[in-house]
Amino acid sequence: MLLGGMGLHAPFKSTLEGGQRAGLPTRLCDVGVAGQKLPAIADIVLEQPSLMFNPRPIEFAGQLLQGLEAARLRFGLGHAYNA
């Protein structure tokens, strides 16, 4: 089931809200990940074998960074990643 036409699936929303209610961090900046570290993290992610199970093919780090920025803008999931 999609919510609000945003493509946000109910199980994801439920998990996110549950984490928020429990006081768990839900944003990268909440756990001390600074925006300037994201390119290096994206490079590491590209080396992970589990990436092949991603529903969208990821071939370069810029795709990961674009996805993070899109999520931030659409869902308010943290601060700007170039900060």
Domain ranges, ordered by start, for the chain = 2-75
* Cα(7)–Cα(75) distance, integer angstroms: 11
Given a cut of 50, whether residue 1 has pLDDT beyond it is: no
DSSP assignments along 39-67, one per residue: HHHHHHHHT-GGGGGSSS---SHHHHHHH
pTM of the model: 0.58
- Residues β-bridged to residue 2: 9
2 φ, ψ to 5°? -95, 145
Task: Write the pLDDT tens digit of every residue in 27-69.
Answer: 777 888 777 888 888 899 899 999 999 888 899 999 988 887 7
